Structure formats: C-alpha cells, structure tokens
Structure 1
Amino acid sequence: MAELRAVVMRPDLERLGRYDPVHVRQRFLDAFVPENTRVIVVDGDDVGLVAVRREPDALWIEHFYLAPESQGRGIGAAVLAHLLADTDGTRPFRLNVLQASAARRLYERHGFVLESEDAVDVFMKADPSRA
C-alpha cells in the first residue's frame, strides 16, 4: 500500500520539488489505520485503496490511490460516488490533494469545493447535501 502511494504520488511530488522516496512511504505507514482502509478490487485484481477517517465534524478521505494503469477508466468516479453515498447526512467530507493534481477535477465533479490551500496542498470539502 505504501508502495502504491509512492508510485501514484511521485509525478505530482516531483513537479512540486517535494519527492522523497523514503518520506512518501513513511508518511503513509505512520498514519495507516487498517480499519479505515479498503482495497479496491476490479475483476479480481487489487487496483487501489481508499481510507476514510470518521471524525465528529467530518469524514476525511485520507488515502485514495489507483494504480496508474487503472486510472481514467471510471473506477475512481465509481468508488468516490459509493463513498459519498455512505454518509449519515450530517458531516461533510473533507480531503486534501496536491496542487495541480489531476485528481482535483475528479473531486470537483463530485461536489467538492475549495476550502483552503497553500503552496503544496489544496483542502476541499463536500457538504452532506451535495455528496
């Protein structure tokens, strides 16, 4: 799982001048909570993972990675739609994505809007009524 994160995030992290092969894996391992994580399986193959952390004030999509060969096939959209449908209707979804990441367009198509940003991260939110 940490390796998938490193592979998926490498192009964006390199573009931002922030790629470190050890740190990118360690950051995942330090925050990994198995109970929050689901493996994405398509036709019997593991193609990605998604982790959602439930907090009192929000549902945080912490990790959402698809193997490069599985991107652009509608898998991410289907998984995200499924996640957004699994809500109690009271808490917004939140996530962060790297600046200029192609994934931002996916999130925007599913109702996420800019909450704040810095030089590296874009923090986004989808209200329960939009999710």
Structure 2
Amino acid sequence: MTAIGLRPATAADGEYCFQLHKAAMGAHITQIWGWDEHAQRCFHTRAFSPSRWQIITVDGADAGMLHIEHRPVEIYLARIELHPDHQGRGIGSRLIRTLLRQARRQGQDLTLDVLAVNQRAHALYQRMGLHEVTRHGENNIKIRMSSRPPRSDPIPRS
C-alpha cells in the first residue's frame, strides 16, 4: 500500500508549488483564460501561504499540495493538487474520504469549488458523494460542491 502523508509547507516550497500548479492545472487554466506565466506567478505569490498549505507526500516524496480551511459551519477544501505522475492512483480519494469522515464527526459539510472544465475532478467528487450546489464566477466557470445532500423541495400541489 502506498504511504500517503502530509507535511507543513515551508517558504522553500514556493517554487515547487508553482510548478505543481502549472503541471496539475495548467491545461485547465489555459482552456479558460490562456496561460500567462507572469500573471500566474503573481497569482501564486499572492496565494501561496506556507502556514496554511500542506505538502502531500507519497512514499516520502513530494506529490502534491493541500489547502483546507476549517470554517465555523464547514470544512472547505480550498485546493488539492496532485502532480500528474500521481493522479489516478487513489491518493486524492483517500485524502477526500478522510476529510469527509472528519466533517461528519464534526457535524459539518465538506465543500469545495472545482473548475467546470475539470471534468475528471468533478466526476471524482461526484463519486465521492459530493453534490453540485451552484455554479458561479465569470461565465459560471466554477462549480460549488458539498457533501450536504441536495435539498428536496416538496412538490407544490394544486
């Protein structure tokens, strides 16, 4: 069995996380906005938060990153990125199942946003039991998903 671990990110992980983002998300970003290296570096510099990010390790080697926000009523999966060499091996599923169990124990929902063009991730989240809540962002490019079952509104009777 593959050993999956998490370690705190450090300032030294900045370039690794940028290159990871480019490898894991570059095609999706290019599809929506086009890849602008300078703009993406600026975005990364603003977003990179070593005190809040974790590095995903697989058998001791860096394989991805994870950013989780523990909010008052939910656990928000702000970002999970795995290097393409590690995708499709059940690593993301194992981490998400752990978050789902934690959310249930705490009486909370697990929520996240996924780019609509990232159909592979969207399908994974659906298989994991998350449901689409809404679409948002410019041209509805993001899908908000939650572990909370969709609300069943009663059918109006005439």
Superposed pair shares fold, TM > 0.5: yes
Structure 1 residue aligned with 2:70:
54
Structure 2 residue aligned with 1:73:
89
Distance across 2 between alignment mates of 1:103 and 1:36: 22
Q: Could you report, residue by residue, the CA deviation over 1:79-108 in whole angstroms, capped at 9, with x for unpaired residues? A: 111222223432211111111311111111
Given the superposition, is the C-alpha separation of residues 30 and 17 from structure 1 closer, same or farther in structure 2, using an over 3 Å criterion?
closer
Structure 1 residue aligned with 2:37:
21
- Give the TM-score taking structure 1 as reference length: 0.85
The letter of the residue matching 1:106 is L
Given the superposition, is the C-alpha separation of residues 13 and 127 from structure 1 closer, same or farther in structure 2, using an over 3 Å criterion?
same
Given the superposition, is the C-alpha separation of residues 26 and 53 from structure 1 closer, same or farther in structure 2, using an over 3 Å criterion?
farther
Structure 1 residue aligned with 2:126:
108
Alpha-carbon shift at residue 18 of structure 1 (Å):
4.1
Q: Could you report, residue by residue, the CA deviation over 1:101-127 in whole angstroms, capped at 9, with x for unpaired residues? A: 111111111111111114311111112
The letter of the residue matching 1:36 is R
Q: Would the aligned equivalents of 1:59 and 1:92 in 2 still touch at CA under 8 Å?
A: yes
Q: Would the aligned equivalents of 2:99 and 2:110 in 1 still touch at CA under 8 Å?
A: no
Given the superposition, is the C-alpha separation of residues 111 and 22 from structure 1 closer, same or farther in structure 2, using an over 3 Å criterion?
farther
Q: Which runs of 4+ in 1 moved over 4 A?
A: none
- Give the TM-score taking structure 2 as reference length: 0.72
The letter of the residue matching 2:116 is Q
Q: Would the aligned equivalents of 1:5 and 1:25 in 2 still touch at CA under 8 Å?
A: no
> Which structure has the larger Rg over C-alpha atoms?
2
Alpha-carbon shift at residue 15 of structure 1 (Å):
1.7
- State how 1:115-130 maps to structure 2 within 5 Å: 115-118=133-136, 119=139, 120-127=141-148
